[in-house]
Structure 1
Amino acid sequence: MMQIQDSKVVVVVRDSLCQRSAAKPCGRNSIMKKSSIAMLAMAAAVSFQANAATGVDPLTQVQPVDAEWFYNGTEPDHIVEVPSFNVPATGVIDYIDSVIPLEFGEEKWVKAVQFIPGDKRVLHHLLSYVVADTPDAGEGMLDETVNDPRREFLEGYAPGKEYATEFPENTGIRVPDGSALRMSIHYTSFGQETTDSTRVGLWFADENNEPEYEYHTYSVATPMNQIQIPAGAMNHEASSSHVFEDDILLYGFRAHMHYRGKAMSARVVYPDNTSEDIINVADYNFAWQPTYRLDEPMVLPAGSRVVVEGLFDNSQYNLGVPDPTVDAMGGLQSWEEMFIGYFSYTDLPE
């Protein structure tokens, strides 16, 4: 263990980063990680002393920074106002499912999208889909491990995503006339009651320059009811796969697990049984889940199988595990687990 001490406060940091991989000695990266934790612990100690002296609860002093629209220096062509939600100070909050009609009066192509939370402190994440605006548009739970042909994934938000997502050249999300935006929103309490009013900015392609190809996202996942990670397991393996029946052009990949996620990789097995690595997220971090856009799109011929493989760490050496003495089960909340690889692609141009 490392111990940081001054005259009033003692902060102990469990030195476990090297123990997570007992077969390897501590390298430069591990030392840097330990130094970062030590610095954070020192900062926490100083902050604790300062607030203890004043009697001020630091949570009441945190104010979110106003965000701006970031896409070519322009305002969105359309802004979707998500219904406001009052977030309580404490407690577990069920996912919010919201359906908002998109009354454009004609078909549109979205070339870029950005989310601006009303209060970043409570918006854990959200997922948005284009669906038909029908009376049953909001029925059933939005399960992100299931690919429902009745919806098209638009984009998601997680803390730190301050920019607009622009889809690759000559691609976009098609929004037919009579569509709605269905959103799955996850709020978390933080000790102070607040209200969130998130906005979604949409930039459209010019009518005389509409994309030729629809941008799709397909989730390759282990169903949540099939996830069970044994207590204390340091390298619990998981895998899932999918065969694309048509020729596609693969643009990107995003890994998604929760606190026990340790690593995830993706590869493709071609119809001739040769294989090629797509990506290796060797040091997965729940707080850093970007979509990795390939430098050059990959051509996957019909019959190609994509394979997602990963590791979970449910041991005492993983500082993010809520309780390493119990099995971890699949579920929506962060203290439960998911295993999803998202593949972004278009149909292969002829």
Structure 2
Amino acid sequence: MEGWSIPKPDLILKMPQPVLLPASGDIEYTYEIVPTHFAEDRWVQMAEVLPGLRSNVHHGVVYIRPPDSHWLWHAPVGVPFTASALSDPEDRRGAHWTDSDVLLVYAPGSSPDEWSAKMAKFIPAGSDLVFQMHYTTNGHAGSDQTSIGLIFSKQVPEQRVLTLQLTNDHFLIPPGDQNYRVEARGTLPNDATLLSFLPHMHLRGIQFEYNIVRRNGDVAGKPVYEIEPLLRVHYHFHWQMSYRLAEPRFLKGGTELQAVAWYDNSEKNPHNPDPRAAVRWGEQTYDEMMVGFFDVAVPTSLDKQHFFIRTKN
């Protein structure tokens, strides 16, 4: 089907209303809530985001908002909105942070998601999809109406795929620093099978890695901890690759994961918007981000909230 990399989708869900984009200036994160109208639970085998105006889409995240969620509870449905435009104070504060599961992350260069016959992503009956879109301007006004294509599993899979992330939003990159390091760590509370990685930074990002951290305690003659590399890659903002393990990796609950990002805020970086600026976390391209997305497979009975409750062995 035209425009899609995956086979013909079983269902295409498009943002109901186009987002009008100005020729210049900053654009706040834009949201659009799309009801699925699913009368029964669905398992997604493949998914692909298709931007309407690819040149202006910095990235997009499609979230699964189950019917019992209170995230963006008072926000309008089927029309574009921004957090600052919401009338409810709780909706404004919580717009950018949610425990809703991620269906798919799109960034320039990223690939569609496709899982084995034994794995799929879960969309509960009655859920909405929430498109969170980050747009940039390029001197030309336009409009975007992004879609997501879904191919459903023919049966209930053995494992459910969850998208997790290691994030550090508290950093300050000094002006002119050519190799600034930012780190994030997290511990898997339960067993999981590691499937893939998707690093996300902005224009100063140059390298990203994922590691397993093994602590040795006070063992004589050994370092406090040892690092096992999982992925080490050069990073380019305009070609944000996702990386799938050739063989999925089983990780025991209690495994400590580390993500490390490097940034070049010097004049030697040709993409640097301003090497004289001290740079913090922010939404706009001239700001920076440090997010290490990664997919894991868990038993179908576990949702994201229950996965983060440590079970007793």
TM-score with structure 1 setting the length: 0.73
Shift of 1:78: 1.3
Offset at 1:168? 3.3
Residue 103 of structure 2: which of 139, 154, 173 is its match? Answer: 154
Counterpart in 2 of 1:69?
4
**Amino acid in the other structure paired with 2:140:** Q
The match for 2:163 among 214, 217, 227 is 217
- C-alpha displacement at 1:296, in angstroms? 0.8
> Which of 161, 184, 194 is residue 132 of structure 2 equivalent to?
184
Paired position in structure 2 for 1:170: 118
Distance in 1 separating the partners of 2:171 and 2:95: 18
1:92 aligns with 26
Please point out which of 259, 283, 287 is paired with 1:332.
283
Q: Which residue of 2 aligns with 1:315?
A: 266
- Preserved CA contact (<8 Å) 2:119 2:158: yes
Which shifted more, 106-115 or 283-292?
283-292
Q: What is the deviation of 1:269?
A: 2.3
Alpha-carbon deviation of 1:293? 0.2
Corresponding residue of 1:276: 228
Q: CA deviation at 1:253?
A: 1.2
Structure 2 gap ranges (5+): 73-90, 217-224, 301-313
Is 1:79–2:31 an aligned residue pair? no
Letter of the 2:231 counterpart: I
RMSD across aligned positions (CA): 2.1
Q: Equivalent residue of 1:121, what SS?
A: helix
Matched letter for residue 55 of structure 2: R
Partner amino acid, structure 2, of 1:211? P
Q: Which has the higher contact order (CA 8 A, sep 6+)?
A: 2
Provide the C-alpha distance between the structure 2 equivalents of 1:204 and 1:292, rounded to a whole number of angstroms: 23
How far apart, in 2, do the equivalents of 1:159 and 1:343 lie?
Answer: 17
Q: Tell me the equivalent position of 1:60.
A: none
Are the counterparts in 2 of residues 142 and 184 from structure 1 also a CA contact under 8 Å? no
Question: 8 Å contact 1:261–1:284 — kept in the other structure?
Answer: yes
Partner of residue 343, structure 1: 294
Question: What SS class does the counterpart of residue 258 from structure 2 fall into?
Answer: strand
Q: Distance in 2 between matches of 1:286 and 1:110?
A: 28
Report the Cα distance in structure 1 between the residues aligned to 2:181 and 2:112, rounded to whole angstroms: 34
1:263 aligns with 2:214: no
Instruction: Tell me the distance in 2 between the aligned counterparts of 1:341 and 1:231.
Output: 24
Give the residue type in structure 1 aligned to 2:18.
S
Using the aligned pairs only, state the percent identity. Answer: 29
Q: Distance in 1 between matches of 2:168 and 2:174?
A: 16
Separation (CA, whole Å) in 1 of partners of 2:36 and 2:299: 29
Rg larger in 1 or in 2?
1
* CA deviation string 1:194-232 (max 9, x = no partner): 2222221111111xx221211011110102xx1210011
Equivalent residue, structure 2, for 1:302: 253
Q: Distance in 2 between matches of 1:152 and 1:106?
A: 18
Q: Which residue of 1 aligns with 2:188?
A: 244
State the Cα distance separating 1:275 from its structure 2 match: 4.2
Instruction: Work out the CA distance in 2 between the residues paired with 1:291 and 1:231.
Output: 29
Name the SS for the 1:329 alignment partner: coil
Check 1:271–1:203 CA distance in 2 against 1; reply closer, same or farther (3 A cut).
Answer: farther
TM-score (norm 2): 0.81
Shift of the alpha carbon at 1:134?
Answer: 5.8
Name 1:198's counterpart in structure 2. Answer: 146
In structure 2, how many angstroms separate the alpha carbons of the residues matched to 1:134 and 1:304?
31
Give how far 1:274 is off.
5.5
Corresponding residue SS for 2:211: strand
* CA 1:80–1:305: 2 relative to 1, 3 Å: same
